Amino acid sequence: DTEVTQTPKHLVMGMTNKKSLKCEQHMGHRAMYWYKQKAKKPPELMFVYSYEKLSINESVPSRFSPECPNSSLLNLHLHALQPEDSALYLCASSQEPGTDYGYTFGSGTRLTVV
């Protein structure tokens, strides 16, 4: 298995809803990442988990809450989002949290906040 699987592929949620994005990899990668990508913009890093511990939080608003239950899973819990949070949310993983390894990205979850 050489993939990063993200579910759901599409999500529409209201501003008062609570939802979660899920990311799964079975490559034994020890670093996992959440990126946010708006249309015609580069992916922007949100969170980095290294060996299941949060190592980077790019000053993301608390309405986004990451969770790494185990080395294969990464969740992003969403609560009270705003319409401007609508974007493609990409999960990625790498073998180690270092530069010698490229990332494997998932296909993303396209989130629309209404």
Partner 1 sequence: DQQVKQNSPSLSVQEGRISILNCDYTNSMFDYFLWYKKYPAEGPTFLISISSIKDKNEDGRFTVFLNKSAKHLSLHIVPSQPGDSAVYFCAASAVQSSGTYKYIFGTGTRLKVLA
Q: What residues line the site for partner 1 (CB under 8 A)?
A: 4, 6, 31, 40-45, 48, 50, 55-56, 90, 92, 97-100, 102-108
Q: Cβ 74 to partner 1, closest distance in Å?
A: 14
Least distance to partner 1 from the beta carbon of 2, Å? 11
Question: How near is the Cβ of 38 to partner 1 at its closest, in Å?
Answer: 11
Query: What distance in Å separates the CA atoms of residue 6 and residue 22, rounded to the nearest whole number?
Result: 6
CA distance 56 to 44: 13
Say if strands 10-13 and 31-37 run parallel, antiparallel, or are unpaired: unpaired
Closer of 79 and 110 to partner 1 (Cβ): 110
**16 or 42: CB nearest partner 1:** 42
Q: Is 84 helix (H, G, I), strand (E, B) or coil?
A: helix
Q: Concatenate the DSSP letters of all residues of 19-50 into one string.
A: EEEEEEE-S--SEEEEEEE-TTS--EEEEEEE
Q: Which is nearer to partner 1, 10 or 84 (CB)?
A: 10
- The least distance separating partner 1 from the CB of residue 80, rounded to whole angstroms, comes to 27
